[in-house]
Amino acid sequence: MNYDVIVVGGGMIGLTMALGLKRQRRSVMVIEQHAQPDLPDALELRVSALNHRSRALLDELGVWQQVSEFRVGPYTDMHVWDKDSPADIHFSAAEANADDLGAITENRALEHFLWQAAQTAGVVITQTEQWRLRHCGDDQQAAEIEYGEQQRAHAQLVIAADGGRSRLRQQAGLAVRFWDYEQVGVVANLRMDTPHEGVARQVFLPTGPLALLPTPDAHVVSIVWSMDASLAQTRLANKAQLAQFVTSESGRCLGKAELISEVKGFPLRMQYAQEWHQQRIVLVGDAAHTIHPLAGQGANLGFADCVSLLAHLQQSEFADLSNLTRCLGRYQRERKADTQTMIAAMELFKRGFGTSNPLIKAVRSLGCLAAERITPLKQKLAEVALGR
């Protein structure tokens, strides 16, 4: 089979790229090992905080309305504070002349609707665990992937959207830089005594940040607690006590917490590819970069990759490798700079709020005080949250 593009990975980012390229009248195949996700009955544990730019892309692709009608948790305000110092900042969508700052969306529901839209548009989705890259493609040949029972597909461009442990990235020989945060992201859903009122809250603790994200249910929050690995081992072994710890460590900001879901943990590490493309292979989303979840920007970085790559590919002739290479080079320069800036910011936040050093505590308190009182700075922070 011959295609313009093969996308490896049928998650949020891979399906978005496939649907976007199909809208450009390209022939597209997606290789994914899992079946289409069902719509979840109960609130899912894995959620993403999508900013305006990400939602604008999904709206352009005809998906966001379905997602928003199903179940999302828009938030109009953000409140961030430090448990061990006076550092405290609160900003709202109104300060950036917006209706909201973002929306909490269940990954599984978003993938369901993207999959549905991609199939309707004519994207070929092949479900298989068995595949391998046989050829990266050059001036004379397309890239080649073998899958299933010795079937082969050729494409002028192959997109790696298969996550942080990308097999395609490894098979293409694209190296990554990384460091282990030595933390675990613990996720769960909790019912709170006090309504969250559409406010996304995050408290910085000495052992890692705890985020309480608003859901469509006024009394339910989705938590992401990025805690040191040693503490996570204890917390995950005593899941029944998690709600008690959330209640106390959040300063009872929403009253008493009650656990209403499973509790899961996943290791956290930063990584980014040194090169994002090689011959006819290009990386997007977590295949290119993963960051600390403390600002909830991982998914937004991936969708920003999609916006950029789709724009650069719009007028590109894939068959001409030299032309394609220039196009992918422009995409890499644009997105790599943005990603490295975000990685540096996350590292600064993690180190700045993850220490009890009195001098650093004083500096971060002054920084939060300045951000809270200087209106232009608060507006800028709100715009960053919006994805502007």
Q: What is the pLDDT of residues 287-328, one digit of tens each?
A: 999 987 866 788 999 999 999 999 999 988 888 899 999 999
Question: CATH class for domain 74-103+182-268+359-386?
Answer: alpha beta
Ramachandran category for residue 173: left, alpha or beta (phi over 0 → left; psi -120 to 50 → alpha) = left
* Residue type at position 76: T
CB 271 within 8 Å of CB 163: no
Q: What is the pLDDT of residue 102?
A: 92
pLDDT of amino acid 382: 55
- Tokens encoding 322: 């030299």
pLDDT of residue 381: 55
Is the CATH code 3.50.50.60 the one for domain 2-68+106-178+270-349?
yes
Q: What is the pLDDT of residue 384?
A: 58
Give pLDDT, residue 166: 97
User: What integer pLDDT is reported at residue 361 of this predicted model?
Assistant: 57
pLDDT score of 23:
96
What span, in angstroms and rounded, lies between the C-alpha atoms of 143 and 126? 17
Q: Residue 372 has what pLDDT?
A: 53
Distance in angstroms (rounded) separating the CA atoms of residues 63 and 55 = 9
**The pLDDT value given to residue 351:** 59
Domain ranges of the chain: 2-68+106-178+270-349, 74-103+182-268+359-386
How confident is the model over 229-284, as pLDDT tens digits?
888 988 888 888 999 999 999 999 999 999 999 999 999 888 999 999 999 999 99
3-state secondary structure of 267: strand
Residues 108 and 56: their CA atoms lie apart, in Å, by: 19
- What pLDDT score does 277 carry? 97
Residues of the chain with pLDDT under 50: 377
Which is it for the CA torsion 54, 368, 235, 163, positive or negative? positive
Question: Would you say 186 and 225 are in contact if contact means Cβ atoms under 8 Å apart?
Answer: yes
What distance in Å separates the CA atoms of residue 280 and residue 176, rounded to the nearest whole number? 18
Q: How far is CA 104 from CA 49, 75, 129, 337, in A?
A: 4, 8, 30, 26
Return the pLDDT at 174. Answer: 96
